[in-house]
Amino acid sequence: MYIVTGGAGMIGSAVIWKLNNLGITDILVVDHLGSSEKWKNLVNRVFTDYMPRETFLEKIEHGSFPHDVDGIFHMGACSSTTERNTDFLLRNNTEYTKTVIRYALSKNIRIINASSAATYGNGAGGFDDDPTKLETLRPLNAYGYSKHLVDLWAHRSGLQDSFISLKFFNVYGPNEYHKGDMRSVVAKAFEQATTSGKISLFASDTPEYTNGGQMRDFVYLKDCADTLWWLMENKSVNGLFNLGTGTARTWNSLIKALFAAMNQPEVIEYVPLPKHLSGKYQNFTEASMTRLAGTGCPLPASDLEQGVADYVQQYLMRDDPHL
């Protein structure tokens, strides 16, 4: 049996999609659904059982979890980069994650944990996933800090060489529809282009970048799912790694790919960067993929145009846009 925490979320449900494609259905989904629309990400999926996050945490804390587990994909976290309740983030993202990792290691269960590129802050120190450089990182928001604390804990305690942590860069793809403002620009821009025929991007607030020339490492969700499964299978590989494409692309390139996939003319307008993002906006991200490549792990295969076209034409333009 496999456990997928955050299994109703974007990446978690993609993991279940990948498992189902491999014929694996003995899966325990762990999440906190509340009143969100995340449940829709599970409708097309096949799994054995669902367990609320609080129940799961209680069971592993008390050692009363009865199942034989082949692996844990720990994708569960609050992923909102604008969440201001730091106590909640440290409880939900940091301490919860430590508890799950400790449990997995105590039971000799393979575990893959989701970290984040938000740990790199403004990127001034680069995007090298060498764990010896962790102490130099300065996240820009509480979400990134909550993830960074787990990375530091794993490194300082000597545990990181016993499991996998992945610093996800800008993931886009199906099953993100419940995330509201935290959806990828692809999803939000598709909505804009459909209703108004034009797309808004943040104007640059720094002379180093032109409007729409800010750059991110965009990685397609399906490629992430492939990587996660390879790492689950290859148990000799452990450590902290980036998960991106290794190639930064501009927002303008992303939007051009979107308009091409929709077969619409390009109409882009630039709007001022909101004040609450001033000083907290990443103008450039690019994953260093050398260390992950060195393990033999196949790197994400889809370029931006391929990923956007698949997302738009196979999901966003369909009646059911879910995996």
- Point out the catalytic residue in the list 143, 177, 220, 311: 143
Give percent helix, percent strand, percent coil of the chain, each to the nearest 5. 45, 15, 40
Residue 208 forms part of a structural domain? no
Structural tokens at position 62: 């008390």
Distance CA(249)–CA(94), nearest Å, equals 31
Global pTM exceeds 0.75? yes
CA-closest candidate to residue 8, choices 30, 26, 25, 24: 30
Active-site option among 179, 220, 311, 315: 179
Domain membership flag for residue 184: no
| Section 219-233 average pLDDT | 98
Asked whether the CA dihedral 41, 44, 50, 56 is positive or negative, the reply is negative
Q: Which two tokens stand for residue 280?
A: 């907290």
In a domain, 209, yes or no: no
Please indicate whether residue 143 is annotated as part of the active site: yes
Mean pLDDT of 247-273: 96
Whether 275 is covered by a domain: the verdict is no
Residue 117 has pLDDT above 80, yes or no: yes
Give dist(CA 161, CA 54) in Å, integer.
28
Concerning whether 311 is annotated as a catalytic residue, the answer is no
261 assigned to some structural domain: no
The answer to whether the CB of 27 falls within 8 A of the CB of 70 is no
pLDDT tens per residue, range 154-196? 999 999 999 999 999 999 999 999 999 889 999 999 999 999 9
Could you tell me if residue 13 is inside a domain? yes
Q: What is the CATH number of the domain that holds 160?
A: 3.40.50.720
Average pLDDT, the chain: 94
Instruction: Tell me whether residue 154 is in a domain.
Output: yes
In the prediction, which pLDDT does 78 show?
A: 77
pLDDT digits (tens, 9 = 90+) for 50-66: 999 999 999 998 877 76
Question: Which range marks the domain in which residue 22 is found?
Answer: 2-170+219-244+287-301
Q: Could you tell me if 234 and 268 are in contact, meaning their C-beta atoms sit under 8 angstroms apart?
A: no
Tell me the residue type at 149: L
Say whether pLDDT at 120 is over 90.
Answer: yes
